[in-house]
Amino acid sequence: MNKLCLLGVVVGLALQTAYADSPSQGPQNKDAFVADLLARMTLDEKIGQLRLIAIGGEMTHQRIEAEIAAGRIGGTFNSVTRADNRPMQDAAQRSRLKIPMFFAYDVIHGHRTQFPISLGLAASWDMDAIALSARTSTAEAAADGIDMTFGPMVDISRDPRWGRISEGFGEDTHLVSKIARVMVENIQGPSPANPDRMMASAKHFALYGAIEGGRDYNTVDMSPQRMFQDYLPPYRATVDAGAGGMMVALNSINGVPATSNTWLMQDVLRKQWGFKGVTISDHGAIHELIKHGVASDDREGAKLAIKAGIDMSMNDQAYGEHLPGLLKSGQISQADIDNAVREVLGAKYDMGLFANPYLRIGKAQDDPADVNAESRLHRAEARDVARRTLVLLKNQKQTLPLKKDARIALIGPLADAPDDMLGSWSAAGVATQSVTLLNGLRNAVADPAKVTYAKGANLTDDRATLDFIAHFNPEHVKQAIDPRSGQALIDEALAAARDADVIVAAVGEWRGMTHESASRVALDLPRTQQALITALRATGKPLVMVLMNGRPLTIGEQQRQADAVLETWYSGTEGGNAIADVLFGDYNPSGKLPVTFPRSVGQVPLYYSHLSIGRPFTPGHPGNYSSQYFDSEQGPLYPFGYGLSYTDFSLSDVSLSSKRLSRDGKVTASINVRNVGKVAGETVVQLYLRDVAASMARPVKELKHFRKVMLKPGESQTLTFDIVEGDLKFYNQQLVRAAEAGQFTVMIGLDSQDVKEATFELL
Ligand code: NOJ
């Protein structure tokens, strides 16, 4: 008997003991299996399944295991090794019904190996790269005994003040929806029951990225049209891709918190979209219904949440303490509880845990001796993906690529910052394993001594920022802040740069500045770094600015000062090597911005797909009564979809297969793209549409198709895009999604601003 058969027999025997009277397991028997189990559960056991508890804090392992064995916990999160999870699963196997636990974690852009932050992944516009990152992170997390990730995070955001913009995929509905689907497909694979896959619990349903003023946890007030047209499709894409879970947002929507929002959770998610998975509240959200002012106490909060359709409560006591009383008093029904429990059991079934509770935990003798062993990392994959996410924003006088024998002065507070390379939500990533830019440059050149380094500036001297970061990570601030004066640091940098041929300045934000609860009123580089760039500019040497940040920054002045600018986000474990690949031209940059970069924070929200208005900005004298700011240049610093290459591409005019589109037909738009430069390179050809006159104002343009193409020097390719009625539909005043007859403009370009146009008519 081979190993696999033996395992099957062992698992089978174990199951027979645990579920002797249950219908046999198999996908076709899920409903019967769950119904049978539900019928055998006590009320306490049912309520136990609805509790999702955070590891850490007061919940010691001992306490948690006792609670699990008593059937009072359904799942936990934040434990990240098989050795940690095994005793908890053992405890579940000691409980009366032996219902397995599941273990969840925020695996957002990596697990042990960190890939670039999600905003960076989106900048690749490369679905293969994104798929690779999701598959690899999932395999690593599953190998550590994790069954569910709290991801993907698919909140559209058009507000860079919001720290969590780093965690999502940008501003655009089409791009984010496409990525949402790819993420779920590659996290769950053919089945979330596969041992190297997990269940995806998409988040944060819904509209979290549209909170007022970018202030975390704030309210959302939005028209139904905008919701359905722009913000809801990515969540819908995760449902269509089969996501097994959905985490509910902390914000309210038009006055009703998502956590108590029956319309959102039942009518939209379950009835309209057919979601069949488990819903999970965000951390403490049921208790927060009191602060939202919709519940007078936890009891009422629990009632509102369970009635709305929140299946599991994350780390709050409201369900455990109040559901029994609510049921007894008739304020909730048995069906309210059973419906929620059914979804939790169903999710566990889908994760393969009834078939084998140790599916991802395995046997103790197979546990890795060192969970952080180098051999467990996927460096090649991380580097490959990371370099595809970097966006070249400026490159004058061919400053880039750098020559490998050049004398390089690497300056800046983020040049050698291993922690920050990992970015926000870096799961089980270990800072000492990340490659900083300093390491990356030195790895790439024959003579590392030719790369000199100086910090040049503290990341910031702003007291509020220092206090904020120190609150979460005092050690980080202690280590990162050099006690010398700003001038002393700059002098040292200038000395390091004296003999250099070129200066590379690594500047931006600490990763903690673009995280949960990390909103900013300013999007500037901190003034210490502004002063550094000014001083480096004054040397007259070629200056390359390498940005590390999790949100669009208002870097107008610094981008004028620099000769070249490379946006690198937080590029992960292999970030330094990936950035070096691009700086030296071993990889030709191909990333495009997934989010608009404003000139100043006062322009926010600034996004390319805004509605048409009666008095659009028309260049001219300040008082010309068009939509403009009188005290600034108009428009973005860098538009959505923008990004340069070391080669140049030219686009032909757009040609259409027909000037008329019938309802069941298609119009094919063609464009020829040619590499007119000297090196091979990739670019993203983007197709936007505009409904010229409709029953409602429509966006000036909306991304509908794109393709990333690689071309050798001199090579050209004709790309074709089929436009069908579905591409033209929108939610009208009656909230019916329909396409209206009339004229449409097709725009194709290499960014959202510089486009070629053609028109056709929908019949
Ligand atoms: C709160 C965050 O909002 C959510 O995204 C995360 O999944 C949970 N905490 C668990 O860490």
Tens of pLDDT, residues 428-447: 999 999 999 999 999 999 99
Runs of H (alpha helix) within 311-355: 318-328, 334-350
* Residue 705 near residue 681, CB atoms below 8 Å: no
Examine the pLDDT at 20 and tell me if it is beyond 80.
no
Q: Residue 199: which H helix or E strand, with range? A: strand 199-205
Nearest CA to ligand 1 atom 1: 283
In the chain, what percentage of residues exceed pLDDT 90?
94
- Give 205's Cβ-side CA count (13 Å radius): 35
Q: Is the pLDDT assigned to residue 24 strictly greater than 80?
A: no
Is 588's pLDDT higher than 50?
yes
User: Per-residue confidence at 26, pLDDT binned at 50, 70, 90?
Assistant: low
Is the model's pLDDT at 10 over the cut of 70? no
pLDDT, mean of residues 730-749: 98
319 CA → ligand 1 middle, Å: 19
pLDDT of residue 533: 98
* Ligand 1, atom 3: closest residue by C-alpha: 282
Q: Best mutation site among 251, 283, 313, 519 for ligand 1, i.e. most ligand atoms within 8 A of its Cβ?
A: 283
Alpha helices in 165-263 (DSSP H): 173-188, 224-226, 233-240, 262
Which two tokens mark 380?
Answer: 């090649």
Query: Which amino acid makes up residue 126?
Result: D
CA distance 193 to 352: 4
Which of 3.40.50.2300, 3.40.50.1700, 3.40.50.1820, 3.40.50.720 would CATH assign to domain 379-603?
Answer: 3.40.50.1700
What is the mean predicted confidence (pLDDT) over 433-462?
A: 98
**Which residue in this structure is represented by tokens 């697990």?**
111
CA of 598 to the centre of ligand 1 (A): 28
Q: What is the Cα–Cα distance from 617 to 627, expressed in whole angstroms? A: 5
Higher pLDDT, 10 or 682: 682
Average pLDDT over residues 24-38: 83
Ligand 1: residue of 282, 286, 515 to mutate (most ligand atoms within 8 A of CB) is 282
* Helix pair angle (233-240, 173-188), 10° resolution: 30
User: 212 CA to middle of ligand 1, Å?
Assistant: 19
Average pLDDT, the chain: 95
Nearest CA to ligand 1 atom 7: 150
Compute, in angstroms, the gap from residue 283 CA to the centroid of ligand 1. Answer: 6
Under 8 Å between Cβ of 90 and 116: no
**What is the whole-number distance in angstroms between the Cα of residue 281 and the centre of ligand 1?**
9
Tell me which residue has tokens 């686009």.
Answer: 651
Asked whether 282 and 292 are in contact (CB, 8 A), the reply is no
Helix axis angle for 575-583 and 437-444, nearest 10°, is 50
Helix, strand, or coil (residue 622): coil
* Band (9; pLDDT cuts 50, 70, 90): very low
Show the ligand 1 pocket: residues with CB < 6 angstroms. 106, 150, 203, 282-283, 516
pLDDT in the model for residue 22: 61
Closest C-alpha to ligand 1, atom 4: 282
Q: Judge whether residue 11 has pLDDT over 50.
A: no
Residue 588 and residue 201: Cα distance in Å, rounded? 35
Cα separation, 531 vs 561, in Å, equals: 11
- Look up residue 160 and give its DSSP letter: T
Contact, 134 vs 183, CB < 8 A? yes
Contact 105, 427 (CB under 8 A): yes
Report CA-CA distances (Å) from 256 to 227, 263, 307: 15, 9, 14
Mutate-to-test residue for ligand 1 from 164, 314, 472, highest number of ligand atoms within 8 A of CB: 314
* Calpha distance 375→509 (Å, rounded): 31
| Catalytic machinery residues | 282
The rounded percent of the chain whose pLDDT value lies above 70 is 96
Atom of ligand 1 nearest to the CA of 78: 11
Q: Using CA atoms, how far apart are residues 181 and 762, in angstroms rounded to an integer? A: 29
Q: Is the previous residue joined to 152 through a cis bond, with omega within 30 degrees of 0?
A: yes
Distance from Cα 20 to the centre of ligand 1, integer Å: 37
Q: What per-residue confidence (pLDDT) applies to 141?
A: 98
Which atom of ligand 1 is found nearest the CA of 151?
Answer: 7
For 382, how many CA atoms within 13 A lie in the half-sphere containing its CB? 29
Confirm whether 379-603 and 649-762 share one CATH topology: no
Q: Which of 81, 106, 428, 63 is nearest to 282 (CA)?
A: 106
Whole-number Å distance between alpha carbons of 404 and 363: 49
What gap in Å lies between CA 615 and CA 80, rounded to an integer? 55
Ligand 1 mean position to 424 CA, how many Å?
A: 12
The closest of 331, 220, 343, 197 to 281, measured between CA atoms, is 343
CA 203 to ligand 1: nearest atom = 5
- Decide: 496 and 555 in contact? Cβ < 8 Å: no
Ligand 1 atom nearest the C-alpha of 204 is: 5
Residue carrying the six token digits 């004028």: 560
Cα 412 to Cα 363, 399, 451, 504, 632, distances in angstroms: 47, 19, 13, 8, 29
Shortest CA distance to 552 belongs to which of 611, 475, 608? 608
- 100-109, 167-176, 626-635, range with the lowest pLDDT: 626-635
Report the separation in Å between the CA atom of 447 and the middle of ligand 1, taken as the mean of its atom positions: 45
Ligand 1 atom nearest to 167, measured from its CA: 5
The Å distance, Cα 733 to ligand 1 centre, comes to 35
Out of 218, 247, 312, mutate this one to test ligand 1's pocket (max ligand atoms within 8 Å of CB): namely 247
Cα–Cα dist 566/546, whole Å: 5
Which one, of 268, 265, 206, lies nearest residue 235 by Cα? 206
pLDDT(191) > 60: yes
Q: How far apart are CA 294 and CA 86, in angstroms?
A: 40
Please state, as a whole number, how many other Cβ atoms lie within 10 Å of the Cβ of residue 274: 9
What's the confidence (pLDDT) of residue 196?
Answer: 98
Mean pLDDT in residue range 750-761: 98
Task: Return the ligand 1 atom nearest residue 150 CA.
Answer: 7
Domain boundaries, the chain: 379-603, 649-762
The reported pLDDT for the residue numbered 23 is 59
**Centre of ligand 1 from the C-alpha of residue 53, in Å:** 12
Record the tokens describing residue 727, joined without a space. Answer: 């591409």
Burial class (CB in 10 A: 0-12, 13-18, 19+), 393: buried
Q: What is the three-class DSSP state of 14?
A: helix
DSSP code, position 747? E
> Considering only CA atoms, which residue is closest to atom 9 of ligand 1?
283
Q: Helices 127-142 & 173-188, crossing angle to 10 degrees?
A: 40
Domain spanning 649-762, CATH class: mainly beta
Whole-angstrom Cα distance, residue 147 to residue 141? 8
Tell me which of 117, 150, 204 to substitute to probe ligand 1's pocket, judged by most ligand atoms within 8 Å of the beta carbon.
150
Q: Could you tell me the two tokens for 722?
A: 């089929």
Tell me if residue 752 falls in helix, strand or coil: coil
Mean pLDDT over residues 467-491, rounded?
94
- Say yes or no to pLDDT of 457 above 90: yes
CB 114 within 8 A of CB 422: yes
DSSP assignment of 23-63: PPPSGGGHHHHHHHHHHT--HHHHHHHTEEEESBTTB-HHH
Tokens 């053609």 locate to 758
Residue of the CA atom closest to atom 11 of ligand 1 = 106
